[in-house]
Amino acid sequence: MTESPVLLNKHEVERLLSYDDLISRLESVMGKFSKRDSSEIIQPVRSVVPIQQHNGFLGVMPAYLAAEGILSTKVVSFYQRAEGSSLPSTQATVLLFHPEHGNVIAIMDGEAITAKRTAAVSAISAKLFSPAFSEVLCILGSGQQARSHYDVLTKLFKFKEVRVWSRRKEMAQRFVNDLQGPVTVCGSVKEAVVGADVIVTATGASQPLLFGEWVKPGAHVAEMDDVLMREAVVYVDSREGATTESGDIILSGVEVFAELGEIINGTFPAQREKTTVFKSLGMGIQDAVSAKLVLEKWKKEH
């Protein structure tokens, strides 16, 4: 007889998942993923059901990590929301299975996992690609991803200045009011971007907001939205993910230089001196290691 699954809500997941643990585990599995050894990791490209009528989609993101003993899937919906909507754009649940027996061992909130693991992966990209003496961080957007990126990037790097732009200034102001440190609210994307060393685009925009001529040569751009800044060396989390799902990569025909895992493995160089873009689509293995970490922490407490 199998035990009932552990149920963990958003508050618990947020509390149990720390960036310190997450970053090192993500580095390790993203490196492994890029070796494409199917006896180690199996992660198909996300299955997506478009809900065009309501500007959304439902995605299913399974993953199996043999050495880590993790079998999981995330089910995630993403809906474009009207500005000021109280509903989150991204809602998700992660299921962890017993890899030997196939029973569900945990069901947990995936919103906090999605926010933290995406930001942690961007932080890995910033460690690899940002200019050596990065002083200015710019965040475009003021939603869940903007917040998690602010948290992890200001924890890891000592920026002298942080700038935020959001399409409605009062949303940017509300975002800043919730933070501890000093942040400048900018009135335009250009004002936020010019001179920045690390730029995070975490908006739901599908039209370009960021133009290459504003970006300081050598800066690093971590892109979460649909808009690709083409005047740069482009890195992705997964080549298959990017060439299947990223409309901007497919349509522009831009060359993907390498996966993040290939830089971690040392099979491709991090061209840190050049302007770099890390195009993040999100991967099931990122959710899988995050959920396992949460469950391990929870078990230590019980």
By the rule CB under 6 A, 165 interacts with ligand LZCNNONV: no
Residue 191 CB, shortest distance to ligand LZCNNONV, in Å, is 27
E strands, 110-252, are: 136-140, 161-165, 184-185, 198-201, 220-223, 233-236
Dihedrals phi, psi of 223, to nearest 5 degrees: -110, 120
Binding mask 111-150 for ligand LZCNNONV (x = CB under 6 A): ---x------------------------------------
1 vs 87, which CB is nearer to ligand NAI?
Answer: 87
Burial of 138 (0-12, 13-18, 19+ CB in 10 A): buried
Give the helix ranges, DSSP H, for 34-99: none
**Number of residues engaging ligand NAI in binding (CB under 6 A):** 27
By the rule CB under 6 A, 78 interacts with ligand LZCNNONV: yes
CA 67 – CA 103 distance, rounded (Å): 18
**Near ligand NAI by CB under 6 A, which window of 1-9, 177-185, 203-211, 294-302?**
203-211
User: Which of positions 208-237 make contact with ligand NAI (CB under 6 A)?
Assistant: 209, 224-225
61 vs 254, which CB is nearer to ligand LZCNNONV?
Answer: 61
Residue 43 contact partner, candidates ligand NAI, ligand LZCNNONV, none, CB within 5 to 8 A by sort of partner: none
List all residues 6 or more positions away from 59 whose beta carbon is below 8 Å from its beta carbon.
Answer: 46, 47, 48, 49, 74, 75, 76, 77, 78
Contact with ligand NAI (CB under 6 A): which of 106, 234, 281, 295?
281
By the rule CB under 6 A, 145 interacts with ligand NAI: yes
Q: Closest residue (Cβ) to ligand LZCNNONV?
A: 282
Of the candidates 5, 33, 3, 80, the one whose C-alpha atom is nearest the C-alpha of residue 236 is: 33
24 vs 85, which CB is nearer to ligand NAI?
Answer: 85
Amino acid, res. 136 = V
Residue 113 CB, shortest distance to ligand NAI, in Å, is 10
3-class SS at 115? helix
Contact with ligand LZCNNONV (CB under 6 A): which of 76, 146, 164, 171?
76
List all residues 6 or more positions away from 192 whose beta carbon is below 8 Å from its beta carbon.
Answer: 138, 139, 140, 163, 164, 165, 186
Of the candidates 91, 96, 88, the one whose C-alpha atom is nearest the C-alpha of residue 76 is: 91
Length of the chain measured in residues: 302
Which residues would be at the binding site for ligand NAI (CB under 6 A)? 78, 81, 83, 88-90, 114, 118, 141-146, 166-167, 171, 202-205, 209, 224-225, 280-282
